[in-house]
Structure 1
Amino acid sequence: MANRYDILVIGAGAAGLMAAGQAAELGKSVLLLEKNERPARKVMITGKGRCNVTNNCDETAFISKVKTNGRFLYSAISTFPPRDTIAFFEEHGLKLKTERGNRVFPVSDKAVDVVDCLVRYVKEQGVHLVQGTVKSLMIENQAVCGVVLEDGSRIQASSVVVATGGLSYPLTGSTGDGYRLARQAGHTIIEPTPSLVPIVTQESWCKDVMGLSLKNVTLTVHEKGKSKPVFSELGEMLFTHFGVSGPLVLSASSVMDARRIPDYTLSIDLKPGLSEEQLDKRLQRDFSINLNKDFINSLGDLLPKKLIPVIVYLCNIAPGTKVNQLTREMRKTLVDTIKSVNLTPKEFRPIEEAVITSGGVKVTEINPKTMQSKLCLGLYFAGEVIDVDAFTGGYNLQIAFSTGVLAGRNA
C-alpha cells in the first residue's frame, strides 16, 4: 500500500465500491479501505440473500419513495437513475430480472453475484482494495489531506469519500464510524434511528404462529387523531417470536415515529381481494359442505393452518361449535376478524436489526450536486452515512449507488 493516492474511499459497501470504481475510471489512483475481511457484507444479506439491486422506475416515482430528504437526492438520482444501475450490472456480466413492485434482482437470486460483480469492477479499474480501519481524518486549512489508520500509519489523498454506512447490522461493519469522522470535520449528525425495522407487538399469540409468512395481505397503520391511515399496502409479512416483520412491516415502520409507538395500531386484511359480502358468501359455501364439522375444523380451505386457532380465538367463538349451529352474527364476527386482524405495536426492534438507518450527516452541509462537504474541501459522503432513507423495494441500495457515483466522479 502506497502512502499517497488521488482518492481515498472509506468503506467498501455498495456506495464505496461504486465511488471508487467511478473515480478510477476517470484515471485517478484510488485506495478503497474496508475494515472487514470481505467487502459489501451488508449487500450479501439484502433481499433475504437475493439482493434487491434497485427499483425499475423513473426518477419521479423514485423520489416519491424516499422518506427522508428526497429533494436532496434529485441530482444524484438524475445523474445515475435506476435504469443506469440496471445497465451497469448487465454490461458487467450480471443478468437481472424485474419482479413484483418493480423490484430488480439478479437472475441467479444470489446476492454474492452482485458483490462479485462490484468487486470485479473496481479491480478491473485498478482500485487498490485494502483491509484497514480509519482512526481519523487529516485536515489542514479546512481541507482534507488524508487519513490516519488505527495502526498509526498515514495515507495522503487529495480527496476522501466517507461511505461507511449507518448503524444497522453492525456485524456487517456499519458501526457509525462515518459519523465520528464527519463530526471531526465539523459536521452535524442527525440522531440515527431505526428505519425499516421489525415491530414488537403486545399480542402474545404472535409467537404461536412464529415463522408464518402471509402473502397478498394488506397491512394498514392508523395513528391516533387521524382519520386517514398513515400507511396501507398490499404485500408480504412475517410473524416472529416478538411480533411482526417482513417487507410490509419494514415499510410501515418507516412512517411511524419511534417515540410515539403507542399512538399506532396495525390491522391486517387477510383477504383484501374479497369484500365483506363476497367473503361472507365464500364462508357460506365452505360451511355448506362442512355442516357437521366443528367450527375450528371448517376453515382449512380459507386460512393458513397455523393461523386458524388464532382467528377462532379472536372471534371468541367456541372451537367445538358445530358449523350448522353458527348464527349470522357469528359469521359476521368471523368476517370482521378476517378483514381486520388487529395488532398493538409495543416498540421497534433495536437499531442493530434495522435494514437501514434514518439520520446521519446533515444534508444541508453537503453539496447535493457533488456530495462534497460544504465545511471541508475535498471531503465527500456517499450512501447510508447521509441523512437520507427510503422505503423497502430496492430504493436504499439505489441511493447508495447514485450518491456513490456522484461522489466518485466529483472527487
Structure 2
Amino acid sequence: MNYDLIVIGGGAAGMTAACMAAGRYGKSVLLLERNPRLGKKLLITGKGRCNITNNCDVNGLIANIPRNPRFLYSAFNNFSPQDTISFFESLGVPVKTERGNRVFPQSDRAYDVAAALEQELRRLKVEVRTERALRLLLEDGRVTGVRCESGVEYLAPSVLIATGGKSYPLTGSTGDGYELAKQAGHSVVPPVPSLIPILTEEKDVKDMQGLSLKNVTLTVSERGKPIYSELGEMLFTHFGVSGPLILSASAHMREPDKGRYLMEIDLKPGLTEEQLDKRLLRDFSQNLNRDIINSLGALLPRKMIPVVLKRSGIPFETKIHEVTKEQRQTLLRAVKAFSLHPTGFRPIEEAIITSGGVDVKEVNPKTMESKLLEGLFFAGEVLDVDGYTGGFNLQIAFATAHLAALYA
C-alpha cells in the first residue's frame, strides 16, 4: 500500500499535517493512530475548552518557549498564530481572544476543534487506520515506510512522527515516537514532566487546600538565583501547589530536590513594603481591641490567615494593640514573601506536556526533516521543545506540522 506521506499520530500535530499535506499540496496521505478515536488529548486541553494558540507576534511566542526556542523561529515565521486562527476559521471554527491573548473557539468546546479536523480529513480523503506503528522501514539511508503491530507494512517516501510525549498516556502519548526515532539513530533527551503541579516540603498547604490566589507574583530561585518571576493565578492543594503560575514555573525546574529551589509568593505585589506597612497600621488602628486572628480579613484570604500568623509566630489571641513592631515586620515579610520549598513533581502522567524528546540538533529547523535519515520528519511534542501554558504548545504543534507537511 503506497502513499506520498505516512503520518504517525492522530493528535493536534498529526491531524493538522495530514490535512495540509492532502489539501494544500495534493498528496496521498495515510494517518496511523493507535487509539480508536483521533484527538483524544486535544479534547482535554484548556480544561476542555482548547486554547488553540496565543494571539501574539513571533517574538512573543519565542519569549514563552523555555526549551530550545531558537529552533522554532522558522516554524513560527512560516505559520504564525494569525495563520492558526485563519486555518481554524476556514474549517468553520470561529475563535475569540481572551485575557493574556489566549485564543479559544467561540463555543468554548475542544470537541469542535477536534471534530473540524476530523471532518477535514474525511473531506480530503485522508486514509485513517487504527494501527500502532512498530518499526520504520529503512533502505539506503532513507525511510521507505512503516511496519505496524498487526504485521501490515505501509510504504511511502516520507514519514512524519507526531506521536506526542509521555504525558496523559491514556490519550495515547506513551512514548512510541521516541522508540521510532531511536531506530533511525536519533538521540532522545529523557522526557521529564513539564507544566505540572509541584509538591512542597511545607505541610501547611493542606490547611489552604482549594484556595485560589489571583494577581500574586511568584518568584522561583535556584540556589539563590532568580530563574522565574511572573504575576498571575495559583492554587493550593493537599500535596502542594498548582494553577497557571505553578505550571509555568515547573517548566524552569529540573528534578526539584530539597534545598535546590525556593518559591516565594508576593501576596500584595501592587504595594511596596513601606506601603504595605502603612496599610497594616491603618487596618490595625480600626481593630485595636480585637484578636489578630479576626482582624486580617481585609488583607488576606480567610484560609491563609492562620497559616500566615503561625509562620509569623504571632499567637491567634494577640490583641492588635499588643502587636509589637517586630511582629508586624515579620507579618509583613510573610505577606510579601510567602515561601514554599519544592520537593518534587506530581507523576509524569499528570503533566500537561513533557520536556525532552527528539534532540533538535538532529532535526532541520527549516523543514522539520531528520538530518540523519532522508524522508523522516517530526512535529509537535515528540520534539525537545515546550512552552508555557497559554496556547503556546498547541501553536508549536500546528507550526511544526505545517513545515513538515510543506517539505514532506
- The TM-score with structure 1 as length reference comes to 0.95
Q: Which residue of the partner structure matches residue 12 of structure 2?
A: 14
Letter in 1 for 2:299: L
Identity between Structure 1 and Structure 2 (%): 60
Report the CA distance shift for 1:375/1:254 in structure 2 as closer, same or farther (over 3 A).
same
Q: How is 1:237-252 mapped onto 2 (pairs within 5 angstroms)?
A: 237-252=234-249
Does residue 186 (structure 1) correspond to residue 176 (structure 2)? The answer is no
Letter in 2 for 1:22: M
Matches of 1:64 and 1:396, distance apart in 2: 13
Matches of 1:261 and 1:293, distance apart in 2: 39
Q: Which residue of the partner structure matches residue 5 of structure 1?
A: 3
Q: For residues 180-211 of structure 1, what are the alpha-carbon distances to aligned partners after superposition, in whole Å with 9 as ceiling and x for unaligned?
A: 10111111111212222221110001122112
Q: How is 1:72-87 mapped onto 2 (pairs within 5 angstroms)?
A: 72-87=71-86
Does residue 288 (structure 1) correspond to residue 285 (structure 2)? The answer is yes
Checking the alignment, whether the CA contact within 8 Å between 2:261 and 2:342 is kept in structure 1 is: yes
Matches of 1:221 and 1:352, distance apart in 2: 24
Q: Which residue of the partner structure matches residue 299 of structure 1?
A: 296
Matches of 2:70 and 2:239, distance apart in 1: 36
Q: Which residue of the partner structure matches residue 216 of structure 1?
A: 215
Q: Which residue of the partner structure matches residue 231 of structure 1?
A: 228
Per-residue deviation, 1:261: 5.8
Q: Which residue of the partner structure matches residue 104 of structure 1?
A: 103
Q: Which residue of the partner structure matches residue 390 of structure 2?
A: 393
Q: Which runs of 5+ in 2 are unaligned?
A: none
Q: Secondary structure at the match of 1:258?
A: coil
Checking the alignment, whether the CA contact within 8 Å between 2:75 and 2:399 is kept in structure 1 is: yes
Per-residue deviation, 1:369: 1.4
Of 279, 290, 297, the match for 2:276: 279
* Alignment RMSD (CA, Å): 1.6
Per-residue deviation, 1:131: 1.7
Q: Which residue of the partner structure matches residue 176 of structure 2?
A: 177
Query: Which sits farther off after the overlay, 136-145 or 164-173?
Result: 136-145
Q: How is 1:24-173 mapped onto 2 (pairs within 5 angstroms)?
A: 24-25=22-23, 26-173=25-172
Matches of 2:137 and 2:257, distance apart in 1: 41
Q: Which residue of the partner structure matches residue 325 of structure 1?
A: 322
Q: Secondary structure at the match of 2:156?
A: strand
Q: Which residue of the partner structure matches residue 372 of structure 2?
A: 375
Q: Which residue of the partner structure matches residue 265 of structure 1?
A: 262
Report the CA distance shift for 1:325/1:225 in structure 2 as closer, same or farther (over 3 A).
closer
Letter in 1 for 2:13: A
Per-residue deviation, 1:132: 1.6
Checking the alignment, whether the CA contact within 8 Å between 2:292 and 2:317 is kept in structure 1 is: yes
Q: How is 1:286-365 mapped onto 2 (pairs within 5 angstroms)?
A: 286-365=283-362
- The TM-score with structure 2 as length reference comes to 0.95
Matches of 2:183 and 2:256, distance apart in 1: 29
Matches of 2:125 and 2:341, distance apart in 1: 53
Per-residue deviation, 1:39: 1.4
Q: Secondary structure at the match of 1:360?
A: strand
Q: How many residues were matched structurally?
A: 407
